[in-house]
Amino acid sequence: MKKLKPLSRLLIALSALILISAYFVPLWQIVMWAPQYPEGLTMKIWIDNITGDVNIISALNHYIGMRHIEVSMFPEFGYMIYIVGFVIGFGLLVSILNRRFMLIAYALLLMACGIGALVDFYLWGYDYGHNLDPTAAIIVPGMAYQPPVIGTKQLLNFTAFSGPDIGGWIFMVSAALAIGVLIVEIYLSRKKI
Amino acid sequence: MKNKILIGTAGILAAFSIYSCKPKAPEDATTGDAASRVYVAPGKYDEFYNLVSGGFNGQLSVYGIPSGRLIKILPVFSVFPENGYGYSEETKPMLNTSHGFVPWDDLHHVAISTTKGEHDGRWVFANGNNTPRVARISLSSFRTEEILEIPNSGGNHSSPFITENTEYVIAGTRFSIPMGNKDVPISSYKENFKGSISFIKVDSSSGRMNIAFQLRTPGFNFDLSRAGKGPSHGWFFFSCYNTEQAYTLLEVNASQKDKDFIMAVNWKKAEEYIAQGKGTIEKANYAHNVYDDKKHSATSTILNEVKVLDITQFPDIVYFIPCPKSPHGTDVDPTGEYIVGSGKLAATMPVFSFTKIQNAIANKEFEGDFSGIPVIKYEAALHGEVKKPGLGPLHTEFDEKGNAYTSMFVSSEIVKWNVKTLEILDRVPTYYSIGHLSVPGGPTKKPHGKYVIAYNKITKDRYLPTGPELTQSAQLYDISGDKMQLLLDFPTTGEPHYAEAIPASLIQAKSLKIYKIEENEHPYAAKGEGQTKVERKGNEVHISMTAIRSHLTPDNIEGVNVGDDVFFHVTNIEQDWDVPHGFAVKGANNAEILIMPGETQTFKWKPLSSGVFPFYCTDFCSALHQEMSGYIRVSPAGSKTPLKFSTGKVENQESGAGK
| Chain B: residue whose CA lies nearest to A57 | B576
What letter represents residue A165's amino acid?
Answer: D
Do the Cβ atoms of B574 and A138 come within 8 Å?
A: no
Cis peptide before B550 (omega within 30 of 0): yes
Q: What is the mean pLDDT of chain A?
A: 93
Cis peptide before B151 (omega within 30 of 0): no
* DSSP 3-state of B115: strand
* DSSP 3-state of A64: helix
Do the Cβ atoms of B624 and A59 come within 8 Å?
A: no
DSSP per position, B235-288: EEEEEEE-TT---S-HHHHTS-SSEEEEEEEEHHHHHHHHHTT-SEEEEEEEEE
Do the Cβ atoms of A56 and B549 come within 8 Å?
A: no
pLDDT, tens digit, 9 for 90 and up, residues A74-87: 999 999 999 999 99
pLDDT, tens digit, 9 for 90 and up, residues A15-70: 999 999 999 999 999 999 999 999 999 999 999 999 999 999 999 999 999 999 99
Quote the CA–CA distance of A121 and A118 in Å, as a whole number.
5
Report yes or no: B524 and B533 within 8 Å, Cβ to Cβ. no
Strands of the sheet with B70-75, listed across from one edge = B70-75, B59-65, B48-53, B499-503
β-strand B221-227 against B209-218: which pairing, if any?
unpaired
Residues of B in contact with A137 (CB under 8 A): 550, 623-624, 627
Query: Taking residues A145-152, what's their average pLDDT?
Result: 93
Beta bridge partners of A113: none
Report which of residues B19 and A120 the model is more confident about: A120
Do the Cβ atoms of B575 and A55 come within 8 Å?
A: yes
Separation in Å, CA of B596 to nearest CA in chain A: 15
Quote the CA–CA distance of B79 and B590 in Å, as a whole number.
11
* DSSP 3-state of B454: strand
Among residues B349, B10, B288, the alpha carbon closest in space to that of B145 is found at: B288
| Preferred mutation among A55, A64, A157 to probe B, highest tally of B CBs within 10 A | A55
Residues of B in contact with A55 (CB under 8 A): 575
Tell me what ipTM this predicted complex has: 0.83
Do the Cβ atoms of A59 and B549 come within 8 Å?
A: yes
In this structure, what are the phi and psi dihedrals at residue A76, rounded to the nearest 5 degrees? -50, -40
Return the half-sphere exposure (C-beta side, CA atoms, 13 A cut-off) of residue B471: 14
Residues of B in contact with A34 (CB under 8 A): none
Q: Which residues of chain B have pLDDT under 70?
A: 1-31, 652-659
Quote the CA–CA distance of A157 and B36 in Å, as a whole number.
35
For chain B, where do the domains classified as CATH 2.60.40.420 start and end?
A: 517-646
β-strand B382-387 against B338-343: which pairing, if any?
unpaired
β-strand B133-138 against B144-149: which pairing, if any?
antiparallel
Query: Residue B117: left if φ>0, alpha if ψ -120 to 50, beta else—which one?
Result: left
Quote the CA–CA distance of B138 and B117 in Å, as a whole number.
19
DSSP E strand boundaries for B293-360? 297-310, 318-324, 327-332, 338-343, 348-353
Report yes or no: B279 and B294 within 8 Å, Cβ to Cβ. no
| Chain A: residue whose CA lies nearest to B624 | A137
Positive or negative torsion for Cα A70, A74, A75, A76: negative
Residues of A in contact with B620 (CB under 8 A): none
Q: What is the pLDDT of residue A191?
A: 81
Report yes or no: B240 and B319 within 8 Å, Cβ to Cβ. no
Report yes or no: B354 and B226 within 8 Å, Cβ to Cβ. no
B471 part of contact set with chain A, CB < 8 Å:
no
Cis peptide before A174 (omega within 30 of 0): no
What letter represents residue A33's amino acid?
Answer: W
What letter represents residue B17's amino acid?
Answer: S
B527 part of contact set with chain A, CB < 8 Å:
no
For chain B, where do the domains classified as CATH 2.130.10.10 start and end?
A: 44-510
Q: What is the pLDDT of residue A4?
A: 87
| Preferred mutation among B575, B576, B628, B649 to probe A, highest tally of A CBs within 10 A | B576
Q: Which of A53, A55, A137 is closest, CB to CB, to B624?
A: A137
Among residues B559, B570, B544, B563, the alpha carbon closest in space to that of B628 is found at: B570
Cα B246 to its chain centre, rounded Å, is: 28
Q: What is the pLDDT of residue B658?
A: 40
Assign a CATH topology to domain B517-646.
Immunoglobulin-like (2.60.40)
Report yes or no: B168 and B267 within 8 Å, Cβ to Cβ. yes
Do the Cβ atoms of B624 and A63 come within 8 Å?
A: yes
Report yes or no: B281 and B307 within 8 Å, Cβ to Cβ. yes
| Chain A: residue whose CA lies nearest to B550 | A63
B628 part of contact set with chain A, CB < 8 Å:
no
Q: What is the pLDDT of residue B650?
A: 87
Residues of A in contact with B575 (CB under 8 A): 55-56
B576 part of contact set with chain A, CB < 8 Å:
yes
B369 part of contact set with chain A, CB < 8 Å:
no
Residues of A in contact with B622 (CB under 8 A): 63
Do the Cβ atoms of A60 and B549 come within 8 Å?
A: yes
Cα B405 to its chain centre, rounded Å, is: 22
- CATH class for the domain made up of B44-510: mainly beta
Element (H, E) at B12: helix B2-21
